[in-house]
Structures are given as structure tokens and as C-alpha cells.
Amino acid sequence: MAKQYETVIGLEVHVELATKTKIFCGCSTAFGGEPNTHTCPVCTGMPGSLPVLNKQVLEYAVAVGLATNCTITQYCKFDRKNYFYPDNPQNYQISQLYLPICQNGRVEIETENGKKYVGIHEIHMEEDAGKLIHDEWDDCSLVDYNRSGVPLIEIVSEPDMRSAEEVIAYLEKLRMTIQYLGASDCKLQEGSMRADVNLSIREVGAEAFGTRTEMKNLNSFKAIARAIEGERERQIDLLEAGEKVIQETRRWDDNKGESYAMRSKEDAQDYRYFPDPDLVPIMLDDAFLDQIRAKQPEFREEKMLRYKKEFDIPEYDIQIITGSKHMADIFEQTVALGSQPKKVSNWLMVETLRLLKENNMDPEDIRFSPENLAKLISLTDAKAINSSVAKEVFEVMFDQNIDPEKYVEEKGLKTVNDEGALRKTVEEVIANNPQSVEDYRNGKEKAIGFLVGQTMKAMKGKADPGMINKLLKELL
Ligand SMILES: [Zn+2]
């Protein structure tokens, strides 16, 4: 009988924190910008420069730790991780090895197989490296230190996951929690959330772990799922052929659907870690922790329960809307401005989701304001515009956050509610379409649809189809 294998997966997730300035200096963390313009002696590793910890980094790290049920290390330190690489000007990275800020946490995930906990071994604070740009035309490599010193937290899980599905559920859970905290936007594609996958296999029932490999370069949930499948297969093939899995770091090439070895995996001792003598130990008192605890937001689970009680909208809508903190904020603020919850939810669930998908955007990228959505809803409630005009206006609003009231006024899109004018147009349409009129009178109900269409066309879309229908029936 063929052997049965179990996949054992642990993740190292790096998250860029949403601070305005870097972790140890006052340089901007803004994405983009001319190369080497967000730099100073500290983040370019000049001799004699001294790092000073950004307090906001500490607050975010503690907030994430509390939200993931970690124990906060109230006496913690920074360590130097020594290695040479051109994007790392100090020749060491300031990180935490011995006393990471958060330890022993766990988060609950849910998959088709039910709920389970994934343990969090630790969360530590560290600085990001610069970026190398390999210029193939000039056959040289350039380095940009704008990212050097951008604050990161690294969330190290226990090897508790057994499938790609569990890994995705875990990442979704982390992303949601951190977004709700406002600690990061967690965009995989832009690199503000990056996951390295540690994977090994063992025979079902075995106690000991197999040799693991680490996979890097995973920038979407789909790539992560494919990489896990690919690496599992590769390791099984090796074992079945009587060969050994080598502990190494591998790069996943999502286009080719295969991974290749980058380097043998280092252990902590290879980096000659030692406490950073430039940074004093951090002492966190209970009052500081209480302060952060008091500022924790309403997380998704609580929000879902509250929505169920407060708003008469379907369960499915609640799930989608609370799936993004930004979307949930828009929903709540629009409702607070007086719009009916179901109507707000409809705009988010139908048109918003459609446009996000078409433009390949995340819910976090929604630009229109709750004020403008509320205005659009009251325009349709007042029958000042019909539903097809409303959709048109919404598209412009989605794109440019225009004020729908002004836009409708300027473009002359208001529905003509003057019954006299509408009746006149309907009469003309009846006069010009004798065939359809006859069809309708002979019992072809559908013919009226054509006449409604013709009237709408004559009114340049600015009429209420219900009213046209009523007038047509009256006049026929
Ligand atoms: Zn700097």
C-alpha cells in the first residue's frame, strides 16, 4: 500500500507597519519616491549615527500581540543579526532574537474541517532592508535605501498548519486583525505583507518532523497555495525515490509552477546575534499595556454579531462587508448619515464589488466617501434619478469620488417628474409606433417594454420607467 503523508507547515509573516516615519530615524516611510531620497545617516548605516526607537512601532507591535493572545515581554531588547548584503548598509539588521516583544499567542481559524487554533511562537520588531534594482541593460545593480529602516513585525507561527487551506485561513485572519488595528494595510502584492512558508512532510502517524524547506517570493494567496502543493509533491517524490530532503531556502517561481534552491538554510547561530549596544532595553509597565488594551478596536467577530442585531441585512452581506475594515467603516458611516442599511449594503455588494473586481482593486482601495454614497441613495429615494442613471453616477463616483448632487445637476441627469411633459412624449411614441401599439392591444404584453424603451430614449434616460409604464397603460 502506498504511504500516506501529512504536510506540516509553519509561517513567517513579515508585516510593514503603517507608521509615518521609520523605526529608528525620522525619515518618511512613504512608498515610491525618487531613489535614496527618504534617507539619512541612520538608515544608510553611517558610522557614528545612533538609532532611536519610534514609539508608534512599539504600540503597533503590542496591539498585534494582544489581538493574537500573546504574552507581552515587558522587558525586551533589540539584537543585531549580522550579515553582509548590499541592501543592508550597516552589515547587520536590528531585530529581536532573545527577548521578542510578543510570545506564545494563538489565533483561531475556520476551514471546511471546522475550527482550530494556530499557535504563534513569537512576534518580533525589526527593520526592513533597502532594495536592489538589477539593471540588465547596463549590466549593473543599483541600490535604493528608501525602504531601509521601514518598521516590520515578523509573526512566527508554530508548525500547526496541515494544508494550503489552513494557511490561507490563517493569513486571512492575521490580515484582517492587523487591518482592523490600522497597524498595516497588509497588501501582499505591494509587499506590505510577505509570507515565507516552512514546509515538511512526514508519514501519517509519525511523531518526529521531517526536514523542512523554506519558500520565499510568495506574493498572492494563489501563489502560496500552488507553492505548497508543488513543494509537498517534490518532497514526496524525493522520499519515495529513497533520497533526502535538504534543509534549504527555495524560491517559488509562480509562472513556471516550480521552485528552485536559493541557499542552504541558516540557523540563528550563523548570524552571530548579540544585543544591540546602541539601543537601551525596553521596559513596558502595566499602565502602558492597559492603555493599548483600551484602544483595541471592535474586531470582525464582534462586529458581525452587532450587525446581525442592529441591521436587517443578509448574513452573506455581513460577511463580505466586515471582511474589510475600510468597507465596514463606509457602511457604518453611510448608515449613520441616515441611509437605509439594506440600500447601502446593496451598493457595496453589487456595484462596488463589480467595479473592484474589474479594476483589480482591494476593498481597502475604495475612494468614495460615505457622504457621497448617502447623497446618491437619497437622490434615488427621492426619485430624482432613476436606477440606470444612478449606476452611471456611481461609476463616476467610484472613480473620482464626485459629489453626486452636483454631478447630476451639472450634467442635467434629473428625472423629468413633470407629468405633462412625460405624457406628451408618451403620446408621440404611441403615435410613431402603431405596430407595437397594435401588438399590445392584441395581447402581446411584451410590446409595452419596447414602448417604454422608446420613451426612455426620447427622454434621454431621464424618466422614471414606472411612471412611463403607468402612463402607457392609461393611454392605451
Ligand atoms: Zn533615516
Q: Which residue has the cell 547596463?
A: 138
- Cα(67) to ligand 1 centroid in Å equals 30
Residue 142 CA, ligand 1 centroid: distance in Å: 19
Identify the pLDDT of residue 265: 67
Is residue 424 pLDDT above 90, yes or no? no
Could you tell me which residue, 27 or 255, shows the higher pLDDT? 27
Cα(151) to ligand 1 centroid in Å equals 12
pLDDT of residue 464: 80
CA of 6 from ligand 1 middle (Å) equals 46
Give the mean pLDDT of 168-177. Answer: 95
Q: pLDDT at position 419, please?
A: 75
The arithmetic mean of pLDDT across residues 399-414, rounded, is 91
Q: Tell me the CA–centroid distance for residue 146 and ligand 1, in Å.
A: 8
What's the gap in Å between 125 CA and the centre of ligand 1? 17
Q: Is the pTM above the cut of 0.75?
A: yes
CA of 36 to the centre of ligand 1 (A): 10
Q: pLDDT averaged over the chain?
A: 92
Identity of the amino acid at 136: E
For residue 190, give the C-alpha cell.
505591494
State in Å: Cα 26 to ligand 1 middle: 6
108 vs 267, higher pLDDT: 108
27 Cα to the center of ligand 1, angstroms: 4
pLDDT, average across residues 442-450: 84
Task: Using CB atoms within 10 Å of the CB of residue 466, give its burial: 0 to 12 exposed, 13 to 18 middle, 19+ buried.
Answer: exposed
Answer whether CATH 1.10.10.410 is correct for domain 419-475.
yes
Give the distance (Å) from ligand 1 centre to CA of residue 33: 14
Rounded distance from Cα 387 to ligand 1 centre (Å): 52
Ligand 1 centroid to 50 CA: how many Å? Answer: 10
Q: Is the pLDDT of residue 202 over 80?
A: yes
The whole-number pLDDT of residue 12 equals: 96
Distance between Cα 131 and ligand 1 center (Å): 15
Instruction: Give CA–CA dist 278/42, Å, rounded.
Output: 12
Question: How many A from CA of 124 to the centre of ligand 1?
Answer: 21
Contact between 159 and 208 under an 8 Å Cβ cutoff? The reply is no
DSSP, res 206: -
Q: Are 79 and 274 in contact (CB under 8 A)?
A: yes
Q: Cα of 376 to ligand 1 centre, how many Å?
A: 45
CA 150 / ligand 1 centre spacing (Å)? 9
Residue 372 has pLDDT above 80, yes or no: yes
Cα(46) to ligand 1 centroid in Å equals 10
Q: With 80 as the cut, is the pLDDT of residue 266 above it?
A: no
Give the model's pLDDT for residue 1. 60
Using only C-alpha atoms, what is the Rg of the chain? Answer: 29
> Cα(42) to centroid of ligand 1, in Å?
5
How does strand 248-253 pair with strand 213-216?
parallel
% helix, strand, coil for the chain, step of 5: 40, 20, 35
Q: What is the whole-number distance in angstroms between the Cα of residue 145 and the centre of ligand 1?
A: 9
pLDDT digit string, tens, across residues 181-201:
999 989 888 889 999 999 999
More confident residue, 240 or 137: 240
Q: What is the pLDDT of residue 257?
A: 83
pLDDT at 456: 83
Phi, psi of 224 (to 5 degrees): -60, -45
Domain ranges of the chain: 5-287, 298-411, 419-475
Cell numbers found for residue 188: 501582499
Lowest mean pLDDT among 60-69, 351-360, 443-452: 443-452
Residue range 27-51, pLDDT digits in tens = 999 987 899 999 999 999 999 999 9
**How many angstroms separate the alpha carbon of residue 12 from the centre of ligand 1?**
26
Q: Tell me how many helices (H) and strands (E) the chain has.
A: 16, 16
CA of 54 to the centre of ligand 1 (A): 12
Neighbour-count burial of 49, counting CB atoms closer than 10 A to its CB (0-12 exposed, 13-18 middle, 19+ buried): middle
Quote the pLDDT of residue 125: 98
CA 56 to centroid of ligand 1, rounded, Å: 16
Measured in Å, residue 362 CA sits from the centre of ligand 1 at 30
pLDDT tops 90 at residue 254: no
pLDDT at 225 over 70: yes
CA 45–ligand 1 middle distance (angstroms): 9
